[in-house]
Chain A
Amino acid sequence: MSVNYPLVRTAEPAPLSPPLTFAREVASFVRAKPLGAVGAFVILAMLVVALLAHTLAPYDPYLADYSAQFARPSAEHWFGTDEFGRDVLSRIMYGARIALFVGFSASFAGCSLGAMLAVLSAYRGGTTDILLERLMDILLAFPQLILALAVASILGAAVHNVVIAVAIPIVPRAARVVRATALSVKQNPYVEAVHALGASHARVVLRHILPNVMAPFIIMLTAQLGTAILAEAALSYLGLGTAEPTPSWGLMLSGSAPAYAEKAPWIGLFPGMAISLAVFGFSLFGDSLRDVLDPKLRGR
């Protein structure tokens, strides 16, 4: 038999401050973190350009126009044309798609796999934890780009292979950060309480531990986005990433850009600016997000 204790309100609760509307929340973020707001703006602009590349781009990015080879930046071709007479601005706009696609999917895949392994490792403890930790240590012994290069060299140059090559080095990095949080979450009395209530392992992990490691997960995700975009550019630059004629920023910097650098510096100038701006945006936004979500992770 159970006894129902009536909930007695002994005092009126303090009046809550009015709920923040989305606009107000944005405004307060901008005021508190102006650099982060700049980053968010860059990311949004990039997303718009990538999504609307087919309407925004003035030319077909694949269309070779030999009458307009090496055209200087002008009203017709804002960023000039390359050695095939292709419009550099249009190629950069379409390149944003590749950069964002690889950036988002690689960092999401890498961070998700890393987080899952980390939660499993922290929750199970014991041998599982030791083995997974060792495996992550081993993967961390390879420099990010070297590991990506080795994986890319085996899989071959194609966009989905680039995603895998870029994602694998992210896994141990995300796992290390998420595991630390998962270990401390596991110590909380409420985890013991739901165990005592007879909750299954799956329920404890999915409902009670995972939601509480979301902060480091999101922080890693944004931090790795910039890294992933750079890694894609580097792989493509080295000829192991996206293959011609697909417009990729890294690819636009290889081969013809240095070869014609004196004659047509704009071929290499603008794609490099696009990469820098994108990574800059993600880093600024990621930093501010980290400060807001979890100041303890500063410097990781």
Chain B
Amino acid sequence: MRTYVAKRLLLILPTLLGVAAVVFVIMRVIPGDVTLLILGGDQTGRIDPQQVAAMRHQLGLDRSIPVQFGAWLWGVARLDFGTSLWTGQPVIDEVMVRLPLSLEVAVLATIVSVLLAIPFGMLAAVRRDSWVDYLIRLVSIGGLAIPSFWVGILVILFLVIYFGWGPPLEFTPPWVDPWANFQQLVWPVLTVGYRYAAVTTRMTRSTVLEVLREDYIRTAWAKGLRERAVVIHHALKNAMLPVIALVGTEFAFLIGGLVVTETVFTLNGVGRFVVDAVAHRDYPVVQALVFLIAFCFVMVNLLIDLTYAWLDPRIRYH
């Protein structure tokens, strides 16, 4: 196990370095000069070349590309992502303000999705090709097909028309006012939870189906165990491994990936921050966010792999 952990940890480094390189390259191939954008002189066309040179020097753009990359990496290592071009605040502070909301939505939506997905996925597998299975499959494909921003629009519309309720603009943390926090997040959490429940239900259904074909399940039936015992104690336990991995991956996506949902529900989270930064052409922020989101994802994946190896000895001796 120790060698496996060491190997896995070592493999993280090139991946993270690669992620940093991809982000850096993406941001460097932007057409047009970022300095002109910051100085905002493109309408009049009259910009002081000295000012441009000074700005380029200040941003470090006059240095060679490898030096720039090195400087950026050094900044990343110290959590210094530069300052936002839009607000002038350090990027990391801006992220930290928005992170609690995104984390809360991610945690709650993951809980909702698991609570829905595991029982329904199991039921669909056990009652395969019955109307229950068809219904569950239809509803879960619906969860994948219906765009969450449309669900968001419909939910808000419904609430506004029938209850005169609009989404609040300010985020209230749960430790300040749990009720206000609940009111604010319940709809986005349910919208996102439904979508991810759909993904997890499908996964649960197919892994349970696979496990139900195994020999030891036949043995369990032959012993005369009741259906409940066979399915829950024997099948579900073994079917859960890939499902847990999927839920972990989803959680990682949820932290920064709720770009659209946060926009619809006017939640000031990390995902919405990406959209705003892209709209404002706030490149340091886009760069930092894309990197941080990928970083979270890589880390969660590492955790999943280690859990897997811990639970399944075949992996670590491979």
Contact = CB atoms under 8 A, between A and B. Distances in A.
A147 B144 CA distance: 20
Residue among B253, B278, B286 facing the most chain A CB atoms (10 A cut-off): B278
Residue among B153, B161, B207 facing the most chain A CB atoms (10 A cut-off): B153
Nearest to B134: A35
A135 B278 CA distance: 25
B16 to A, nearest CB: 9
A138 interface: yes
Given A150-B286, A237-B149, A143 B26 contact: no
B52 to A, nearest CB: 21
**Chain A at the B interface: SS class:** helix
A141 B160 CA distance: 38
A262 B242 contact: no
Contact of A276 (B23, B134, B142): B142
Residue among B149, B242, B257, B279 facing the most chain A CB atoms (10 A cut-off): B149
A283 interface: yes
Interface in A94-150: 134-135, 137-139, 141-147, 149-150
The range of chain B's interface size is 35 or more
A275 to B, nearest CB: 5
Nearest to B31: A154
Contacts, number: 142
A104 to B, nearest CB: 17
A139 B259 CA distance: 18
Given A134-B15, A146-B293, A268 B150 contact: yes
B279 A143 contact: no
B206 interface: yes
Contacts of B217: none
B146 A276 contact: yes
Interface string B244-280: 0000000001001101100110000000001100110
B10 interface: no
Given A135-B18, A141-B19, A265-B157, A146 B274 contact: yes
A36 to B, nearest CB: 11
A35 B129 CA distance: 11
Interface in A239-273: 239-240, 250, 253, 257-258, 261-262, 265, 268-269, 271-272
13 contacts: A35-B134, A146-B293, A146-B294, A149-B259, A150-B286, A226-B145, A230-B147, A234-B147, A234-B260, A269-B154, A276-B150, A280-B145, A299-B242
Interface of A: 35, 134-135, 137-139, 141-147, 149-154, 226, 230, 233-234, 237-240, 250, 253, 257-258, 261-262, 265, 268-269, 271-272, 275-280, 283-284, 287, 298-299
Interface of B: 14-15, 18-19, 22-23, 26, 29-31, 134, 137-138, 141-142, 144-147, 149-150, 153-154, 156-157, 160-161, 202-203, 206-207, 209-210, 242, 253, 256-257, 259-260, 263-264, 274-275, 278-279, 281, 286, 289-290, 293-294, 297-298, 301
